[in-house]
Chains A and B, each alone.
Chain A
Amino acid sequence: MAGQARQGDGVAHHPAHDSHVMGTVGRVAPDRFNPATFLTTWNFSDLAPDERQKYYQETPRPDGTFLREYDIFAADREIEIAPGLFFPAWTYNGQVPGPTIRATEGDRVRVSFRNLGSHPHSMHFHGWHPPQMDGALAGQEVQPGETFVYEFDADPFGLHLYHCHTVPLKRHIHKGLYGTFIVDPRSSTGSRPPADEFVMVMNAFDTTFDAENEVYAVNTVANAYVHEPIRVTVGKLVRIYLVNVTEFDPVNSLHLHGMFFDVYRTGTSLTPGEKTDTILLCQGERAILETTFRYPGDFMFHAHQSEFAELGWMGLFRAEAPLT
């Protein structure tokens, strides 16, 4: 299977060029993991209803909150991180980053975690939870073939993450076991205005296992959004859920060309903390960014560590005039 994909992709199409061109060669196979779809998918919203309910169910509760139930499994899988370049990943539900989990403040989150992988794994959520649900303490690893149910209330509102907390920690994280956990404010707290929302996970891959990354990206695939720019509308609010899970390098950053954005660090406030065009995040740190495109055209965004940018962490927004 993987062998066939390998032969087919990244091999056939080497574009002709006359000038110096930085970047990867070819395209990844879109059927395996689609970075464009991942941007706007949470709670398995990309799946057809009957397929979706296998992994996600929401049940209203008397107090107006929801019980949100997830089926998450760990599995070993080879993923394509740049055209023709494969990485032996450990994944949640076969994808890196794992599925985005999104709840509202006060909802009950119940995650049934099955370990179908070859090593012990766990899910460690950022957010309020009792120690029994931490997934990181001694004895809390879920052995291969076993299942554990994590259950806690979504609190506080903000932008969080989940990741495997089994040792050796660096390996379990950089192999791909991480995902985004968004908690929206409940209506009594206030709300964020409607916007085009995108989930962006800054990650990297050490393909030679020497504790240095060979490939950097936002949402796994190097240069994915250069080849397929993210479509936005001029004058419409854009909200980015930005999470940094880059392993080995202490920090990562996002710089947006030609614009400024409001920053809500950890997303735990409805009042922006700063206005900037470059934001630095430490490992595990995250921020919600809001901006509105003023001009049509292409806007580059990338890590302002030039090295990361040139190793794949670069993309484009394509702003178009609104339909009238």
Chain B
Amino acid sequence: MMRHVVLAFIPLALLAALLVLIVRWGPAEAVRGEDYPPVERLTFQRLTLEPGSIVVNVLNDGPDELSIAQVQVDDAFWTFTADNGVVLDHLGRTTLHIPYPWVEGEAHVVRVLTSTGTAFEHEIAVAVSTPTPNARFLGVFTLIGLYIGVIPVLIGLLWFPFLKRLPAPAMAFLMALTVGLLAFLLVDGTSEGLESAELLPESFQGVVLFGSAAAGAYLLLEGVGAWLRSRRSSAAEGRHGWVLALLIAVGIGLHNFGEGLAVGSAFALGEAALGTLLIVGFTLHNTTEGLAIVAPLAREGQRVSVADLAKLGLIGGVPTIAGAWLGGFVYSPVWSVLFLAVGVGAIAQVIVQIVRHMAREGSVARMMATVPVLAGLFAGFAVMYVTGMLVG
């Protein structure tokens, strides 16, 4: 037994020895030579606008040490203080306080110059005071979350009584519509997530992070779904629709969390003053999510209490509020990527669930190749696309 364990440690010991060798003799240094310029990368993690001052959190994303020499705001050298010094190791971060009289509603450019004269820029497209976590802003973010998340989803649920009376082909259309809606969210979330992943410091390997988190969420929900079904099957036979609706609500909730994060962080990065049109867009867009949640219930022709409907709506909508809080107050791009990924994984899982549900025991391909289903898929995607235009 002991000998067996030792066998596992031999490669590890050799690896440790190799690492020591590499650090000691630095073959990389030999390749680069003495005068080779250092590789410098600096990323802006968070930018806060306070009255008469810009606060910037930066991270050294490069492999080498980096030293911040000067700061320019709008093409002018400006004084600054650094909380954590100006010499940053690999992944070292510091906060720069720049006493700059920024102008509400106008654009500014913050540029950090390193000792080698390399410049790293961050543009503030529209300067607005960054909210601090006080009661007023908690209230504002809650309201935004209600507007764009909770209320629209609940309104969408109100289609339930209407849906229940629909004939079978119309139901097939409707389920396909749901899949179309979700497919749109899948593409949308993936593109947003990958976009955010690009903004991450390279060391965080944003795309890999996104992929793993999405896959993780998918598998987790798959497990949860199986567990729910096994519990329900004994208690209430035929409540398959309820489980599916619940899963869709969870998936949409996770997606909306990411959406809330995006809206909140737009505030945090000083990049957007949230316009009325944007809120209107999100509201219309998210109403269709409510429809997606109740469609499987209607298909099963189940009786669902108002309380149960409300529960589903809250599961789908409330995370928007939490997302907006998190995004607004403790935003970091890593969170954004992670949550968008979780949303994508969840939605992918929900799509698979619905398709399985629609096909019952039959062939998925044959089920898809019917007029109501194809029309539904297209319609779902189109509805999201058109309402999405208001947001984009």
A residues with CB within 8 A of B: 6-7, 10-11, 14-25, 81-87, 205, 207-208, 214-215, 222-223, 307, 310-312
Q: How far is the CA of A5 from the CA of B85 in the complex (A)?
A: 16
When A and B form their complex, what is the total count of cross-chain residue pairs whose Cβ atoms lie within 8 Å?
95
Q: How large is the interface on B (under 10, 10 to 19, 20 to 34, 35 or more residues)?
A: 20 to 34
Q: How far is the CA of A21 from the CA of B70 in the complex (A)?
A: 13
Q: Is the CB of A208 within 8 A of B118?
A: yes
Shortest CB-to-CB span from A15 to chain B, Å, is 7
Q: How far is the CA of A16 from the CA of B117 in the complex (A)?
A: 24
B67's contact among A6, A207, A222, A310, by CB below 8 Å, is which? A6
Q: Is the CB of B77 within 8 A of A14?
A: no
B71's contact among A16, A25, A215, A223, by CB below 8 Å, is which? A25
Is B72 engaged at the interface, CB distance under 8 Å to the other chain? Answer: yes
* Most chain A C-beta atoms within 10 Å of own C-beta, residue among B75, B79, B80, B113: B79
Q: How far is the CA of A19 from the CA of B78 in the complex (A)?
A: 12
* Most chain B C-beta atoms within 10 Å of own C-beta, residue among A11, A87, A215: A11
Q: Is the CB of B118 within 8 A of A82?
A: no
Q: Is the CB of A208 within 8 A of B52?
A: no
Chain B residue nearest to A206 in the complex (CB): B117
Q: How far is the CA of A215 from the CA of B119 in the complex (A)?
A: 11
Q: Is the CB of B69 within 8 A of A83?
A: yes
Is B191 engaged at the interface, CB distance under 8 Å to the other chain? Answer: no
Q: Is the CB of A311 within 8 A of B117?
A: no
Chain A residue nearest to B82 in the complex (CB): A14
Shortest CB-to-CB span from B283 to chain A, Å, is 41
B117's contact among A17, A20, A24, A87, by CB below 8 Å, is which? A87
B119's contact among A7, A17, A24, A207, by CB below 8 Å, is which? A207
Q: How far is the CA of A208 from the CA of B118 in the complex (A)?
A: 6
B77's contact among A10, A24, A205, A207, by CB below 8 Å, is which? A24
Is B99 engaged at the interface, CB distance under 8 Å to the other chain? Answer: yes
Q: How far is the CA of A16 from the CA of B79 in the complex (A)?
A: 9
Q: Is the CB of A307 within 8 A of B85?
A: no
Q: Is the CB of A84 within 8 A of B70?
A: yes
Interface of A is mostly: loop
Q: Is the CB of A84 within 8 A of B118?
A: no
Shortest CB-to-CB span from A208 to chain B, Å, is 5
Shortest CB-to-CB span from B349 to chain A, Å, is 47
Shortest CB-to-CB span from B60 to chain A, Å, is 15
30 residue pairs of the A-B complex, CB under 8 angstroms, read A6-B115, A7-B67, A10-B70, A14-B79, A14-B86, A15-B79, A17-B99, A18-B99, A20-B99, A22-B79, A23-B77, A24-B77, A24-B79, A81-B117, A82-B113, A84-B69, A85-B113, A86-B69, A86-B116, A86-B117, A207-B116, A207-B117, A214-B113, A214-B119, A215-B117, A307-B75, A310-B76, A311-B75, A311-B76, A312-B77
Q: How far is the CA of A137 from the CA of B117 in the complex (A)?
A: 33
Q: How far is the CA of A84 from the CA of B75 in the complex (A)?
A: 18
Chain B residue nearest to A11 in the complex (CB): B86
Q: How far is the CA of A169 from the CA of B113 in the complex (A)?
A: 26
Shortest CB-to-CB span from A117 to chain B, Å, is 14
Quick one: given A20-B101, A208-B119, are A85 and B70 in contact (CB under 8 Å)?
yes
Q: Is the CB of A11 within 8 A of B78?
A: no
**Contact partners of B87 in chain A: CB under 8 A:** 7, 11
